[in-house]
Amino acid sequence: MERKLEALQEEALEKIASARDLAELEQLQVEFLGKNGKVTGVLRGMGRLDPEERPKVGKKANQVKEIIEKELEARLQILKADQEKQRLQEEAIDITLPGKPLQGGRIHPMQLIIEQLEDMFLRMGFSIEEGPDVETDYYNFEALNIPENHPARDMQDTFYVEGGLLLRTHTSPVQVRTMEKQTPPIRMITSGKCYRVDELDATHSPVFHQLEGLVIDRGITFSHLKGVLIAVTREIFGAGREVRFRPSYFPFTEPSAEVDVSCFKCQGQGCSLCSRTGWLEILGAGMVNPRVLEMSGIDAERFTGFAFGMGLDRMAMYKYEIEDIRHLWDNDLRFLKQF
Ligand SMILES: [Zn+2]
C-alpha cells in the first residue's frame, strides 16, 4: 500500500512538472486529488486494511496528498507567471516606433493674404465693412459713375440674375453702402468675391477676390493715397519695394492711377514672374470722383477722398509664386499643405 502511494506520488510529480498550461494542471488535480482521484481512492480503500496498519498508511497518504498539493500550487505559480510574461510580450508597445503624425489644418493662401492685409489696415485705423455678393445695378454701377453705356455693363462682363439684380463685378458697391451709412471721416476696407463672365484659364477666373479701401476726410490728397499704398506693398512684398504710379482711367476716381511694385523676385532686373519688366501690376487707385461723393450724399466741397482696389488672387499668386489661378480653387491637399 505504501509503495503504491509512493508510485502515485512519483507519477503525479512527473506529470505536474511537464504540465504546460493551467487546464492541464487542473486535470491533474482531478486525476489525483479529486473525488474519484487516485490518492482519494487509496484513502477510501483503507477500510480493508489491518487496523494496526491503518494509521501508518493514513499518514503516508496524507503526506503524499500534501506533497502533490504543494507541487500543484508551485507549478500553478510558475505557469501563471509564464502566462503573464507571454501576455506582456504579446501586448508590448514598441515605444521606439515613430508616432502617427496628426494632420494639422492649414490656412488657405487667399485667407492668409486677406488676414495679413486686414491686420495692417486695422492698425492704421480702418474699419472692415461687408456687403452682399448679389447687388443692384445702382450700387454696382450707377452710384460709381458708370453710365449705362459703359463697357463694364455689357452682358459679356456681368452675370445678371433674376429681378434685375446682378453678381457684383467688384467690391466697390460696399464703398457706396458705407458712404451712405457713415459720415466722414471714413476709413474702411472691404474684401470678398467678385464675379465676371470670363473663361477659366491659368490667369483668369469668373470668380475672383478683391480688397479695396476708401478714405474720406477734409484735406485728403494724393500723397495720403501714396503713403498708404506704399505701406501695403511693403507689408505684402517686403521692405524696400519700389512703387510706381501710372496714370489710368476709372469712372469712379479722378485722377486715377495703376500701381506697380518692383518685382520682389528679381529685384527689378526682369524675370519670368514680372514678364521681364521688373514691375508687378498690383492695384488701381485714385482720388474719389466728386460726383461719386455727391451721389452718396457727401459734400464734395468740404471733403475729398481716395480709393484703391486690388486683385487678391493676383497678389497671392505673386507672393506665393503660384503659376495657375485654378490651384486656388481646386482644394488639392498637395497644394494646400504647402501653406
Ligand atoms: Zn521679376
**Domain regions of the chain by residue span:** 2-91, 109-336
Instruction: Please give the full DSSP string across 131-167, using - where no structure is assigned.
Output: --SEEEHHHHTGGGT--TT-GGGSTTT--EEGGGEEE
Distance 171 CA to ligand 1 centre (A): 29
The Å distance, Cα 317 to ligand 1 centre, comes to 13
Express as a percent the part of the chain with pLDDT over 70: 99
**Residue 98, C-alpha cell as written in the block:** 515613430
What is the mean predicted confidence (pLDDT) over 178-183?
A: 91
From 15-24, 128-137, 291-300, 306-315, the region with the lowest mean pLDDT:
15-24
Cβ neighbourhood burial of 120 (10 Å; 0-12, 13-18, 19+):
middle
**How far is ligand 1, taken at its centre, from the CA of residue 225, in Å?**
25
Q: How far is the CA of 273 from the centre of ligand 1 (A)?
A: 5
Tens digits of per-residue pLDDT, 191-222? 999 999 888 888 788 999 999 999 999 999 99
Is the pTM above the cut of 0.75?
A: no
Q: For ligand 1, an ion, list residues with CB under 5 A.
A: 263, 265-266, 271, 273-274
Question: In the predicted model, what is the mean pLDDT of residues 256-275?
Answer: 87
Name the residue among 125, 147, 136 with its Cα closest to residue 292: 147
Q: How far is the CA of 280 from the centre of ligand 1 (A)?
A: 8
Say whether pLDDT at 155 is over 60. no
pLDDT-based confidence at residue 152 (cuts at 50, 70, 90)? low
Question: 109-336, what's its fold?
Answer: BirA Bifunctional Protein; domain 2 (3.30.930)
**Nine-digit cell at 141?**
454701377
